[in-house]
Structure 1
Amino acid sequence: MTTREIVQKLWNLCNVLRDDGITYHQYVTELTYILFLKMMKERKQEAAIPEKYCWDRLRALHGEEMYRHYRELLTHLGTEAEDELIRQIYHNASTNIGEPKNLEKIIRSIDDLDWYSAREEGLGNLYEGLLEKNASEKKSGAGQYFTPRPLINVMVKLIDPQPGERCNDPAAGTFGFMIAADQYLREKTDDYFEVPKLKPFQINQAFTGCELVQETHRLALMNARLHGIEGKIYLGDTLSSLGTQMGGMDVILTNPPFGTKRGGERPTRNDLTFVTTNKQLNFLQHIYRALKKDGKARAAVVLPDNVLFQEGDGRRVREDLMDKCNLHTILRLPTGIFYAQGVKTNVLFFNRGTNDTGNTEEVWFYDLRTNMPSFGKRNALTEEHFGDFIRAYTAEDRTQVKDPRWSRFTREEIRAKGDTLDLGLIADESLSAYENLPDPIESAEEAIGKLERAAGLLSEVVEELKAAEGGNRK
């Protein structure tokens, strides 16, 4: 049985919980609690778990007794487990399963899976496949935490992390960037066999991150553990004082959250020069400030189009970035590769300079957006789609690359255009307006998702108004 088949079987178990009103994201969190116990058994790592709460003890129970034991297990592991990572995974854990028979069915079904095949293909790959499945379901809302793996792999390959370097993702999501960087290095070094003295550093310190949302933080911890990574993953806001602890990095790979702080709230950091309500601009400042000032430290960051052209603070941040760093490449990404249809994004590649002025002399742009097919569930993005960009990026002499999608603007030319970086898109003359329309099925699914989220927000408002009205009557 392949990893994909096992993931599909796990995903199908969600149908068992429909009557309990459990969402996709809640289901994945619940599976994390249960799978962790099973996977620790499969990896022969149960020593970190009290014997009373190991997998075999849980699966030996039935009905109400199993249900009570499971709830007790969640509380104990989240508060009293000696292993800090286990405590973090189960911190504030509670079950959303209401029926004991449903819990038992899930545990029995998981126990009956082909775990020999799962071990052979990698338990970490199985779990990441489950996270990817969750992200691909529009109703789950998890797409915002999941960057397409082909894009991650290309970013890692071009940034080319090295053994001994400190790598970080300040908006970690499920830790996909760091896991890909670790796998890239393991392949280059024969699973670190070629750098034995650095292996402890690679496992325990090389890969770190920070995630704001507790439920997603759990998934990141589980994902890291199953891939053999023990680096620190903070639970908190990078744009708070916590972010100041993540400095001196050699490599940063990330896809920060899009949007603005709720209610116009500004970050609580006091070390950012331009403090705005725009989260991407604040994250971008954090990133280039968190890199070592050695001329070698580098980053690849996914950012939406507005960062390239926004006036005011946006322009000032771009100027600061091009002063402090060599912003050498911008990849204009195709639409449809993220959870929201039509979101326009880019990857910025830059190196931190040894000083704070005049580091960018020219910026190369690659247009992978214009006249490209519409990507989505039925037309998946693959690493092959980035082939021409990779060849241009890695060319010894970029000026000799003959590709109409590849263009260069000097710093003087950018300054003359008002420091906008919304450049490098080729003319879209070959396609009719009709050929560029988004996939109608995906557009309809997106509209349904937006309506469901809007209805949920309205319900919350109604409940708050009722509560307020009740308080006024008293």
Structure 2
Amino acid sequence: MSNTTDIVAKLWSLCHILRDDGITYNEYVTELTYLLFLKMLEETKKEERLPKAYRWRELAKRDGLDQLDYYKRLLLDLGKAEVKDGLVRAIFVDAQTRLRKPTNLKALTSSIDQLDWFSAREEGLGNLYEGLLQKNAEDKKSGAGQYFTPRPLIDCVVRLLRPQVGEVVQDPAAGTAGFLVAADRYIKDKTDDLYKLTEQQGHFQRHSAFIGAELVPDTHRLCLMNLLLHGIEGGVDLADTLSPDGERLPKADLVLTNPPFGTKKGGGRPTRSDFSITADTSNKQLAFVEHVVRALKPGGRVGMVVPDNVLFEDNTGRRMRTWLMELCNLHTILRLPTGIFYAQGVKTNVLFFQRGKTDKANTKSTWVYDMRANMPAFGKTRPLTVDDFAAFEKVYGRDANGRAARKDEGEGGRWRCFTREAIGARNDSLDISWLRDTEAEAEEKLTDAEDIAAAIIGHLKAALEDIETVSEELEINEAEGAAGLSEAAE
């Protein structure tokens, strides 16, 4: 076991203390983040970012009710406008602790102090924090996996799309910043941790290269903390991408994202003035596709996780796909196996496309890799690994925009090419499969109780979303029919 893994396990064990104080699973990491932020600033000698009155030693040396009262005051004051450091202010805005027992706070501060911080610094505090986020996501009771993209998938997409120095990388649904951190790591590995860059280039990478938005306040805190520990200063706003906030995000050279599944909360529509395709739908995935296309610079590229309904939904969905293939070269689709996200029954894909220099006929053909049929039952007992993507990465090729030499493997293989004309004959449906789908058989092999429960929940959620989509399409059809009758009467 590596030192980082060992420390993550010890940090996760502190959740027993939090649970003893009535703190729920989905609040664990947020509560630990406040304390870890203070401690990690001490360990990295960056405490000048904090007011002198609110530093780790001041908290750790106290006891009893005095410590708990001090901690509550610290959380309140660090989120106020008077705090000069914007990142500190953003992490602590509206922060509050659920801790009620002074003995539990003392147990937490003492346990954190006793961790092997020398080893943690050697292996990277960012890696330590990412390990904690991953541990939280793997625990299905926390529900965190709903916004946590598996690291092997993130790393695969980043390797294929090859982020470059000087590029603006955007994630409009940043979650805990997994995609942005992986893109940053990829660039640092190619530039000796940025030391090969000029001072100006290095400043751009730390302060301007990575941008995005996250809607959920507690997730946004985790995101900012993760970015900070990887040497990235901010860049992700607490914002709703499907509102006018999304219009203000800078144009990107590269978009890496896994937007949330389901309909927009409360059935609301996007409120973007620049949306023309999805203005009348509450389907968040379709709206995010429109955002991503509009966010790209000419020649910009994308790796985007979407559920199956984006590939086959009629009406707005079909218009979206037609529009996408006109403006962009949709060169590759990866059909992902089920069971790799928290919601087991959700079927997902990765779309790889590039914005054209013009707005016409950019997609000539689309390659599809089926990683879903005849695959193992992924879950707790069989987690997704980097090796699972090796065959796909090999056929994808070394060109980020899908221009490497490729060979169709025929009906017996996983890798096929479909012309734009063939897709048009399918009414622009991209839900293309040719291998016998053994998904049901794979789920029957699940043995872990949490995996089985997650599969059932996933199927129920997917069914509910399908019903909502059908209901919405009926409403749209009725409205269009009424409009048509009105025009005829006139």
Q: TM-score, normalised by structure 2?
A: 0.88
In structure 2, the CA distance between the partners of 1:426 and 1:400, relative to structure 1 (3 Å rule), is closer
SS of the residue corresponding to residue 283 of structure 1 reads helix
Change beyond 3 A, Cα 1:47–1:97: same
Contact 1:392 1:401 in 2 (8 A): no
1:257 to 250, 260, 276: 260
Answer yes or no: is the 8 Å Cα contact 1:247–1:292 preserved in 2: no
1:367 equivalent among 365, 370, 392: 370
Query: Which amino acid in structure 1 is aligned with residue 20 of structure 2?
Result: D
Q: Which residue of structure 1 lines up, in the alignment, with residue 429 of structure 2? A: 420
Mapped to 2, the partners of 1:347 and 1:207 lie a distance apart of 21
Match of 1:287 among 274, 283, 292: 292
Task: Select which of 121, 133, 136 maps to 1:134.
Answer: 136
Q: Which residue of 2 aligns with 1:124?
A: 126
Note the residue ranges of structure 2 that are not aligned, 5 or more in a row. Answer: 399-403, 462-490
**What's the CA shift for 1:18?**
2.1
Structure 2 letter corresponding to 1:399: K
Residues 172-219 of structure 1, C-alpha deviation per residue, up to 9 Å, x if partnerless?
000110000000000011112222241100000001110000000000
Please give the alpha-carbon distance, in whole angstroms, between the structure 1 residues aligned to 2:34 and 2:456: 30
Match of 2:335 among 326, 332, 335: 332
Residue matched to 1:224: 227
Q: Residue 139 of structure 1 contacts residue 449 of structure 1 at CA under 8 Å; is this kept in 2?
A: no
- State the partner residue of 1:27: 28
Residue 420 of structure 2 corresponds to: 411
Q: Counterpart amino acid of 1:327?
A: L
- The letter for the 1-side match of 2:293 is Y
- Contact 1:366 1:424 (C-alpha < 8 Å) held by counterparts: no
Q: In the aligned structure 1, how far is the partner of 2:367 from the partner of 2:450?
A: 33
Partner SS, residue 51 of structure 1: coil
**Is 1:235 paired with 2:234?**
no
Aligned ranges 1:80-99 → 2 under 5 Å: 80-99=82-101
| Distance verdict in 2 for CA 1:299–1:432, change over 3 Å | closer
Task: Provide the secondary structure at the position in 1 that maps to 2:389.
Answer: helix
Residues in 2 aligned to 1:435 and 1:338: alpha-carbon distance in whole angstroms: 15
Matching of residues 341-420 of structure 1 within 5 Å: 341-394=344-397, 396-399=404-407, 404-420=413-429
Q: 1:100 to 1:345 in 2, by over 3 A?
A: same
Runs of 4+ in 1 over 4 A off after TM superposition: 400-403, 431-436, 447-450
Number of the residue aligned with 1:3: 4
Deviates most, 382-391 or 259-268: 259-268
Structure 1: gaps (5+ residues): 454-474
**Contact 1:335–1:341 (Cα < 8 Å) also in 2:** yes
CA deviation vs aligned residue, 1:60-108 (integer Å, no higher than 9, x gap): 1111111111111111111132101000100001110010110110000
Distance 1:272 1:375 in 2: 37
Identity of aligned residues (%): 55
- 2:252 is paired with a residue whose SS is coil
Residue 163 of structure 1 deviates from its aligned partner by 0.3
Distance 2:11 2:91 in 1: 20
Residues in 1 aligned to 2:32 and 2:291: alpha-carbon distance in whole angstroms: 34
CA contact (8 A) 2:329 2:363 kept: yes
Checking the alignment, whether the CA contact within 8 Å between 1:172 and 1:210 is kept in structure 2 is: yes
Give the deviation of 1:400 after TM superposition: 6.3
1:283 counterpart letter in structure 2: F
The 3-state SS of whatever aligns with 1:338 is coil
CA distance in 1, matches of 2:322, 2:288: 15
Please give the secondary structure, in 2, of the residue aligned with 1:98.
coil
Match of 1:439 in 2: 446
Displacement of 1:447 after TM fit?
Answer: 7.5
Which stretch of the first structure deviates more once superposed, 95-104 or 195-204?
195-204
Matched, 1:269 2:272: yes
Asked whether 1:47 is paired with 2:52, we answer: no
